[in-house]
Amino acid sequence: MKRSRRSKPFARLEWHRRRESEFKPASLQLDTEVYPRDVQPPVDFTGRLIEGDNLAVMTAILTELEGQIDLIYMDPPFLTGKAYSARIGRGEDSRRPSEWQTTSGYQDTWRDGAEYLDMLFPRLDIMRRLLSPSGTIYLHLDWHASAYARVLMDEIFGPNRLINEIVWIYHGPSPIRRAFKRKHDTILVYTKSKDYTFNADAVRVAYDPSTVKTFSSSPKAGFGKVPDLERGKVPEDWWYFPVVARLHKERTGYPTQKPEALMERIILASSNPGDIVADFFCGSGTTAVVADRLDRQWIACDNSPLAIQTIYRRLLLENFERPFTIWRSEEDMQYAIKPQITVSQSGSSIHVALDDILSQESESEPFPADLNMWEVDWDFDGDVFRSHSQAVRMWREEEIDTQMEHTYQQPGDYTLGVRAFDNRGSLGHITHQTTIPA
């Protein structure tokens, strides 16, 4: 796939090896349809969760979705040079990181800055093509790469399409002693055209108490414009939201998870109900969860199986009402664990007990402590897994239900599909044949 043609920018970033290349689309396959309890097909799916490298994924969906996505939030690796681990333990002391049980999260390590720019540039370029004419993209970075990204974004979108440089400020501990603590991120906001969605009224906040006091006592104070104190104000371009580490309730254990309040403001401001919101570096799935809650359609992609499982679990643990699909590339399908089940039957009712999940890694943690979720397709067609029953462990709980039941409406031969996910993001799948007598 060739890159789009752009008009000549007034500045251009050069790095060694910068080149135009061709990209191969991912061979995406519909893997799972996920239904809330009692919801039967046919339905409209409101979300797509896609496992795979986002460049190949975006190239694959371009034929269907070019010019269709209304909002893209992008929170890529920041060029920090770190490998991030995910917390998978429960009931641990937050102040003792050396005792946390962890697994590999995602890598933000690069041979050099040029390799990072090689990653970033084609992805920004293809995202512009995916955006709808009134669409907006939010690119979330920090001091490591935001200056370089700004020049790339100016080249791809045009400098006059930058509508905001948002500064997200937060608190937290820092080991830095020879400079000021680095406690802000930068979010570059570009639009595809001059006619873009911006819902000022959806994101208004209360005026500061000092402003309210001043204008309550004298409406003439200020520079002539009297604020509507009841309606509130459109926020400034600097935002304070606490980081997720402090928001215990939201925390999934996935590294660098962003706060839901941040995503809520972005989604409310730059999309409308029914719009398509996409996040191709979706991590723990904050964008998908908030978009779903706000009645948007969503696309969430990540190349980490642990991220995909975290989002899947998070969506199910939310007030799960709207069916969604999971897509994978054929080459990414790996079953690293093996569920062990006992099936018992009484008339048209069937009972499945999950007895164990066999994996190379689970010896350190016995079953069911190593189990994060499992699901059953009561009538698996051997192709698409239709998940109608799911058992999910809450984030910091020990308990997970290992029994499931189902009553068939029709006699016949059925194949049960059973899938399980362990706490490292590995997936297992088995089938079981059963006959329901007339």
Ligand X SMILES: C[S@@+](CC[C@H](N)C(=O)[O-])C[C@H]1O[C@@H](n2cnc3c(N)ncnc32)[C@H](O)[C@@H]1O
Q: Which residues bind ligand X (CB under 6 A)?
A: 53-54, 75-77, 106, 254, 256-258, 281-284, 286, 301-304, 307
CB of 180 to ligand X, least distance (A): 23
Q: What is the b/e burial string over 303-341, where b = at least 16 CB atoms within 10 angstroms of the residue's CB?
A: bbbbbbbbbbbbbbbeebebbbbbbbbeebeeebbebeb
Measured CA to CA, the distance from residue 10 to residue 151 in angstroms comes to 10
CB of 323 to ligand X, least distance (A): 23
Measured CA to CA, the distance from residue 394 to residue 399 in angstroms comes to 8
Return the number of the residue (182 or 351) whose C-beta is nearest ligand X.
Answer: 182
* Residue 198: partners with Cβ closer than 8 Å, 6 or more residues away: 136, 163, 269, 270
Return the number of the residue (139 or 276) whose C-beta is nearest ligand X.
Answer: 139
| CB hemisphere CA count around 410 (13 angstroms) | 5
Return the number of the residue (76 or 417) whose C-beta is nearest ligand X.
Answer: 76
Q: In this structure, how many other beta carbons lie within 10 angstroms of the beta carbon of residue 83?
A: 12
Measured CA to CA, the distance from residue 385 to residue 195 in angstroms comes to 41
Tell me, what amino acid is at 303?
A: N
Q: What is the b/e burial string over 205-235, where b = at least 16 CB atoms within 10 angstroms of the residue's CB?
A: eebeeeeeeebeeeeeeeeeeebeeeeebee
Strand partners, 420: 374, 428
Return the number of the residue (188 or 418) whose C-beta is nearest ligand X.
Answer: 188
Return the number of the residue (49 or 376) whose C-beta is nearest ligand X.
Answer: 49
CB of 363 to ligand X, least distance (A): 26
The residue at minimum Cβ distance from ligand X is: 283
CB of 423 to ligand X, least distance (A): 17
CB of 386 to ligand X, least distance (A): 26
* Tokens, residue 411: 């006699």
* Tokens, residue 160: 């006059």
Q: Which of 417, 420, 409 is nearest to 433 (CA)?
A: 417
Return the number of the residue (245 or 436) whose C-beta is nearest ligand X.
Answer: 245
Return the number of the residue (75 or 118) whose C-beta is nearest ligand X.
Answer: 75
> Is residue 147 within 8 Å of 188, Cβ to Cβ?
no
* Residue 175: partners with Cβ closer than 8 Å, 6 or more residues away: none
CB of 76 to ligand X, least distance (A): 6
CB of 106 to ligand X, least distance (A): 4
Return the number of the residue (54 or 134) whose C-beta is nearest ligand X.
Answer: 54
| Helix/strand/coil (H/E/C) assignment for every residue in 175-224 | CCCCCCCCCEEEEEEEECCCCCCCCHHHHCECCCHHHHHHHHHCCCCCCC
Measured CA to CA, the distance from residue 111 to residue 323 in angstroms comes to 41
CB of 135 to ligand X, least distance (A): 19
Return the number of the residue (26 or 376) whose C-beta is nearest ligand X.
Answer: 26
Measured CA to CA, the distance from residue 309 to residue 317 in angstroms comes to 12
CB of 108 to ligand X, least distance (A): 8
DSSP reduced 3-state for 107: strand
CB of 170 to ligand X, least distance (A): 14
Return the number of the residue (187 or 376) whose C-beta is nearest ligand X.
Answer: 187
